[in-house]
Chain A
Amino acid sequence: MIVRFFHQMGSPRYFYGVAGKLIPWFMVSFLITLVVGLYYGLFVAPPDYQQGESYRIMYIHVPAAWMSMFIYVVMAVSGLISLVWRIKMTEVIVISSATVGASFTFLALATGSLWGKPMWGTWWVWDARLTSELLLLFLYLGIIALHSAIEDKRVAARAVSILALVGVVNIPIIHYSVEWWNTLHQPASITKFGKPSMDMSMLIPLLTMAISFKLYYGAVVLMRARAEIVERERNSRWVQDLVEQEAK
């Protein structure tokens, strides 16, 4: 049953249809969690004992930083599948994720910088965490540039998949940078094991925002994938039928 579902999702035509039905659900649940998360984060959660109100930027910064790494891992895994099994749909996922991943990385860097000025006393320092996250942004931009530099979509997808896999070594570096080296950036408040060093009243809105950003990524990657499919398959029968239907 599940195997059959994945097998069908590997067909661009089938994926196009399913994605079209899923997007509104992702969008609606994204908007609901966004409103709830922002309301609880910005108005209900108490101020921090040291940072006062300024800590609230973390409701954007932390989920954006998580997404920047999550999306990269999705790209690397899809890249691996594309290279080994030559599945068209995973190729589409790799490139459809790049722009949204780059946006989240930029958002994490920009919000971090805005917080850093009043809290640390500087916009930017070259510590291990900040530098490796900046490198991640360059990786995303490199992937986007490489993809658009190659005319043949399938060749481009293969090149991009290799680059994505090369860059995946940076992900554990970003994650562990605050433990391996002395950094100005604080260590993680929320870890897989152990109690989070954040009060519950602040943690719940943060996790809501994290879910919200994931749903946003889901909606955007499906939209971009659909556009990519139509472009790739523009000469196929079913796409031309689709265009004729739309024209009517």
Chain B
Amino acid sequence: MNPIRKKRLTLIGLMVAGIGVATWLALNAFDENLMFFFSPSEIAEGKAPAGHPFRVGGLVATDSVKRKSDGLTTSFTVTDNAETVTVEYTGILPDLFREGQGIVAMGQLNQSGVFVASEVLAKHDENYMPPEVADSLKTAHDQAVGANQKVSVQ
């Protein structure tokens, strides 16, 4: 390669590497702010900002969804399979909201540690499958769980 081209290539290489490092440092510094939500474990560790609104994300725990008598307020537990947070929300829930589904809620913790949400968004996962496949997976899972339970009973 002739020297002029080599010089140009090195300069460009340095430029791109420099920008890469600068961006990496900037993103590292802003890491917390780039997180769209906090998990229940992070809230338990006290990482979530106290006193102003933030987002909590996790799975809606099974059998935790309860409707209040006013018909609009729902309360449920969000879990990351380690810690849980109780969320209360008044309003219409998105289509994908159901037990076992990932959600992200925006709001604030009140005095009694209940997360009062002003907005609830459903988080979709990366799995795409036809209903029949989902059914057969569920059946297989239930059978496996059932078999384990039988073994433990014996």
List residues of A whose CB falls within 8 A of some B CB: 46-51, 55, 58, 80, 83-85, 118-122, 125, 127-128, 162, 165-166, 168-169, 173, 180-184, 186-189, 197-199, 201-202
Let me know if B34 is at the binding interface, CB within 8 A.
yes
Given contacts A180-B34, A184-B121, 17 further A-B contacts (CB under 8 A): A46-B132, A47-B131, A49-B135, A50-B134, A83-B8, A84-B5, A84-B8, A120-B124, A121-B119, A169-B23, A180-B27, A182-B38, A184-B123, A187-B125, A199-B129, A199-B133, A202-B129
**Contacts A50-B96, A184-B121, A186-B126 given; does A83 touch B12 at CB 8 Å:** yes
CB distance from A29 to the nearest CB of B (A): 27
Let me know if B57 is at the binding interface, CB within 8 A.
yes
CB distance from B132 to the nearest CB of A (A): 7
List 9 interface pairs A-B (beta carbons < 8 Å), by A numbering: A84-B9, A122-B119, A165-B16, A166-B19, A169-B19, A169-B23, A181-B36, A183-B36, A184-B37
Closest to A118 in B: B95
List residues of B whose CB falls within 8 A of some A CB: 5, 8-9, 12, 15-16, 19-20, 23, 27, 31, 34-39, 57, 93-96, 101, 104, 119-135
**Contacts A119-B94, A120-B123 given; does A198 touch B36 at CB 8 Å:** no
CB distance from B70 to the nearest CB of A (A): 21
Does the CB pair B128–A165 fall under 8 Å? no
The residues of A that contact B134 with a CB separation of less than 8 Å are 49-50
Question: Which listed residue (A48, A119, A188) contacts B95, Cβ 8 A?
Answer: A119
Closest to B34 in A: A181
The residues of A that contact B37 with a CB separation of less than 8 Å are 182, 184
**Contacts A49-B134, A51-B96, A173-B27 given; does A197 touch B127 at CB 8 Å:** yes
**Contacts A50-B96, A121-B94, A169-B16 given; does A198 touch B128 at CB 8 Å:** yes
**Contacts A50-B96, A83-B12, A165-B12 given; does A125 touch B126 at CB 8 Å:** no
The residues of A that contact B131 with a CB separation of less than 8 Å are 46-49
A121 to B122, CA, bound (A): 7
CB distance from B117 to the nearest CB of A (A): 12
Question: Which listed residue (B35, B96, B129) contacts A119, Cβ 8 A?
Answer: B96
A128 to B27, CA, bound (A): 11
Does the CB pair B12–A50 fall under 8 Å? no
**Contacts A121-B94, A182-B37 given; does A189 touch B126 at CB 8 Å:** yes
A180 to B20, CA, bound (A): 16
Does the CB pair A84–B12 fall under 8 Å? yes
Closest to B6 in A: A84
A226 to B116, CA, bound (A): 60
A180 to B94, CA, bound (A): 26
**Which of A49, A165, A187, A202 lies at the interface centre, i.e. has the most chain B CB atoms within 10 A of its CB?**
A49
CB distance from B126 to the nearest CB of A (A): 4
The residues of B that contact A165 with a CB separation of less than 8 Å are 12, 15-16
Question: Which listed residue (B19, B20, B124) contacts A51, Cβ 8 A?
Answer: B124
Question: Which listed residue (B23, B126, B130) contacts A49, Cβ 8 A?
Answer: B130
CB distance from B20 to the nearest CB of A (A): 5
Closest to B125 in A: A186
**Contacts A49-B134, A121-B120, A181-B36 given; does A198 touch B127 at CB 8 Å:** yes
Does the CB pair A48–B129 fall under 8 Å? yes
A189 to B9, CA, bound (A): 36
A121 to B121, CA, bound (A): 5
A48 to B132, CA, bound (A): 10
A118 to B93, CA, bound (A): 11
Does the CB pair A119–B34 fall under 8 Å? no
Does the CB pair B133–A49 fall under 8 Å? yes
CB distance from A170 to the nearest CB of B (A): 8
